[in-house]
Structure 1
């Protein structure tokens, strides 16, 4: 019997589905056998575990809290759409986790596992991630020098996005925060005037979203098909061509000046792009490579724009507690990096808002070798390990009345002798995991906190803020295991009444 095209297509689909099922079964069976000694939340068997997978997609916090309560600090594993993950929440284990060398525990492999960077961004960024050192060192070191530009862009962006009216105006909070932070962060990334270019900013915002969406699509396919489907479900080449149209003339001019004068030349911009060009850790083929530099700029936008979620949580708490506007306003303000650092009550308010409504898990890593924690728990090579952020942040022994919003919680902790610095929002600890932990904590956290604090300070000094009908914090959005702020909620603003 002759096969027509629809029949052949159907046959191919059946074969592909069968191969996918078999490969997933073999992979899951082998890994589950290696992790059998670690207790499971939900169903432990291969087929029934998918019931827990679907539950995790809808209720990641509930799954993590169940494991945290049931196993009382011991590691536990959960099944997810992209495999088994081992969750640790015990302070001692987190302290050990942050000290493990890269040869034992790879954050780079964790990023690849979760976001498939080789396909969604670029494999070159993982092979030589010298941009991380640029963020950790050059960016952090230059925050005071660049602060005036950051503040200038924040004030202009807020003015354009939030009307300064005497009557209350409703705005979609998440949307305007994305626009404000994309524009203000790019003032430090590429400088003026490109930081205000509409097409460039639209690209930066779109790329940040497509990386996550494309990674989710790849999770649906077995690894053997990633080289094929990775090309289909990736917009990186299109995004790269688009950003290079904006960056090419800027890069050509800077490279020309660098070749003529060296690293120091007249009126050289002090921004992330210049720091990338100056960094000695770029390989020979990467140095002055427009595609490579452009892709690292896209990655920087991906990282910076995702601080939007953190600030949205903070703004919702402020709007739900307008009585805190005045206490926040009485802190001594001055538009410098040093002044921002001294705003301890604001720092406490922001950190508490992030603690209460933040992420469920953080800092994924993959074990490179077999090793054991001090309690005897063995972890085989290839295991995905993550930190139970939400459970730690809601532990009653660590944070009494953990479900209550206490804006001065960390201000009070600062008052204790010898703990003035430890409780800052940008300072990672075994009980504060928003930015990860240890050597692998978010390298841009000091810049992120400075930018968010400056934005919040500017808003509270110029606006009154509240939720409509004196409502509370909008419920978070949960999708595919991720907990994010409500993206459709509105916040009301008006010109501050003196």
Structure 2
């Protein structure tokens, strides 16, 4: 029987014509991929491979192998030869991992040659979950680099004004007696950060709107879930598969609800209203009208900032909290610094928070040891580049660096690399100030080639100054207002979770809190 369906006249029937079209699409896809593979094979950088080869074991098996074994694979590669590049198939794509020594020369290249925004979209499959908004506008970056920094004092004052109420809401039991109470750290501080970010993002009113706050959390969760659900599928099938995913339906539903809430807020404002929040600054920069498309665009931008600001900040706070509990001998030193600084400034304010140098050092050391990603400084090569070593990297290559292990290199961070030295950065800062040198390299908000917590170069996290202050504020608030400890019987910090390239503080860990009562 023929593969095609034919009518009695010898002309393909409708179903037959559909089948011919399907065959043509499949053939074209195979031919295009074969041509891409052949071109890539001929121009590909010659480097050893770490993990399974997708062309031998199959793409799905190679991806799965890295998702489960990514920590071991990247650690062994760094220990074997940190100065060599290698290929690795991660859970999302094949990457050329370059030694950290190349970061300085790479950061100087224009975006016409290597692009971080395209890399973010590709890593997160942003065409399916609206993360590709960052390719359509740079307004969110511009706002964070200018107005957010210029108004950081007022933004911080706003967050401070709500912090007591936020803690009372999320840790209610601690305010009812003087006993210890146990809370899931990841869940509790995700909620606290979500409320704190909302104050800076959308200002008065919406920052207390439970509907908006829940939509931000759900969108954050489903954006990542959408990406993870699509990753195992071939590129050709993703546009079809995504239509049947629960995460897609949830994202669409929540986006519609978010747009309705924001539409009321946007229409109640005008350009130049003077509100000190990110939504107002996005409105001021919006050069379109407030028709359906314009409102969708502003909603997309606002939700993207909420996603970017909430999850990573909460993880940093939880990691620092775990280190605070793991090294209880440093708690009183930090509490004493907070006491002195608050006395000098009279109250909680940006200047007081910036004056907590030891706390800043403690947080930066925690960030160094607990990067969010195994591989970072992710870039998509758009035009062929040649490294100082002579290596030619063709367009289309996805490059990364071994950020997690570079941050634990004993040569860069003596004596052991993976040892927690809480005053490492405050000591270096004091030494620099005594010599009349800049202390900026030693601040928690400053990245370096061996410490990529915030990224690096012109595309380092544009909101890192607010995020660094927020982490510092919340940790200082905890130290000042609470005693903290592990659950009874626990003595050690829980191991981080390594899933694909992501590194997460244990989401099941509970911490005991007891409110400190002052007379």
Mapping of 1:196-345 within 5 angstroms? 196-233=208-245, 234=248, 235-255=250-270, 258=271, 263=272, 265=273, 268-279=274-285, 282-284=286-288, 289-306=294-311, 307-331=313-337, 332-333=341-342, 334-345=347-358
Preserved contact between residue 59 and residue 481 of structure 1 (Cα < 8 Å) = no
Deviates more, 1:410-419 or 1:316-325: 410-419
- CA distance in 2: counterparts of 1:154 and 1:392, whole angstroms: 36
C-alpha distance in structure 2 between counterparts of 1:19 and 1:198, whole Å: 50
In our comparison, the structure showing a higher alpha carbon Rg is 2
Residues of 1 paired with 2:197 and 2:122: CA distance?
Answer: 27
Give the SS at the match of 2:96: strand
Secondary structure of residue in 1 paired with 2:263 = helix
**Superposition deviation, residue 361 in structure 1:** 1.6
* Secondary structure, aligned partner of 2:55: coil
Match of 2:496 among 463, 476, 490: 476
SS of equivalent to 2:440: coil
User: Does structure 1 conserve the Cα–Cα contact (< 8 Å) formed by 2:82 and 2:99?
Assistant: no
Q: 1:168 to 1:124 in 2, by over 3 A?
A: closer
What pairs with 1:141-156 in structure 2 (closer than 5 Å)? 141-156=150-165
Whole-angstrom CA distance in 2 between matches of 1:25 and 1:308: 44
SS of equivalent residue, structure 2 residue 188: helix
Q: 1:25 to 1:472 in 2, by over 3 A?
A: farther
Task: Tell me the distance in 1 between the aligned counterparts of 2:236 and 2:259.
Answer: 31
Residue 52 of structure 1 and its aligned partner are, at CA, apart by 5.0
The 1:345–1:379 alpha-carbon spacing in structure 2 relative to 1, beyond 3 Å, is same
2:368 matched residue in structure 1:
355
Residue in 1 that maps onto 2:11: none
- Aligned partner of 2:9 in structure 1 is none
> Which deviates the most, 97-106 or 32-41?
32-41
Aligned counterparts, 1:70-469, within 5 A: 70-91=80-101, 93-121=102-130, 123-162=132-171, 163-164=173-174, 165-233=177-245, 234=248, 235-255=250-270, 258=271, 263=272, 265=273, 268-279=274-285, 282-284=286-288, 289-306=294-311, 307-331=313-337, 332-333=341-342, 334-358=347-371, 359-400=373-414, 401-417=416-432, 418-468=437-487, 469=489
Q: CA deviation at 1:55?
A: 3.2
Task: Answer with 310-319 or 41-50: which moved more.
Answer: 41-50
Unmatched 5+ stretches in structure 1: 4-10
Q: 1:488 is matched with which residue: 503, 508, 515?
A: 508
Task: Mark the CA change 1:443 to 1:291 in structure 2 (over 3 Å): closer, same or farther.
Answer: same
Secondary structure of the 1:289 match is helix
Is residue 49–residue 79 contact of structure 1 (8 Å, CA) maintained in 2?
no
Structure 1 residues 19 and 473: CA distance shift in structure 2, 3 A: farther
**Cα contact 2:71–2:498 (8 A) shared by 1:** no
Note the C-alpha offset of 1:160. 1.3
In structure 1, distance between residues paired with 2:85 and 2:474 = 38
TM-score by length of 1: 0.89
TM-aligned CA deviation for residue 215 of structure 1: 1.3
For 1:7, the equivalent position in structure 2 comes to: none
Matched position secondary structure for 1:174: helix
Tell me the alpha carbon deviations over residues 175-207 of structure 1, each in whole angstroms, 9 at most, x when there is no partner. Answer: 000100000110111112211222211110111
| 5+ residue gaps, structure 2 | 4-18
Q: Secondary structure at the match of 1:86?
A: strand
Q: Distance in 1 between matches of 2:181 and 2:34?
A: 54
Partners in 2 of 1:138 and 1:75 — Cα distance? 40
SS class of match (1:416): helix
Please report how far the alpha carbon of residue 357 of structure 1 lies from its aligned counterpart in structure 2 after TM superposition.
2.3
Moved more, 71-80 or 178-187: 71-80
Q: Cα distance, 1:478 vs. partner?
A: 2.2
Identify if the C-alpha distance between structure 1 residues 28 and 283 changes in structure 2 by more than 3 Å, giving closer, same or farther: farther
Residues 413 and 419, structure 1, Cα contact 8 Å, conserved in 2: no
| Distance in 2 separating the partners of 1:340 and 1:278 | 30
Query: In angstroms, what is the RMSD of aligned CA positions?
Result: 2.9
Q: Per the alignment, in what secondary structure is the counterpart of residue 400 of structure 2?
A: strand
TM-score with structure 2 setting the length: 0.85
Q: Deviations for 1:233-279, whole angstroms, at most 9, x for unmatched residues?
A: 43443222110221122111103xx4xxxx2x4xx421111101112
| Separation (CA, whole Å) in 2 of partners of 1:25 and 1:322 | 58
CA contact (8 A) 1:38 1:77 kept: yes
* Conserved 8 A contact 1:25-1:46: no
Contact 2:266-2:283 at 8 Å conserved across structures: no
Q: State the 1:490 CA deviation.
A: 0.3
Cα displacement string for residues 376-403 of structure 1 (whole angstroms, at most 9, x for unaligned residues): 1221101111222111101110011112
Distance 2:121 2:406 in 1: 25
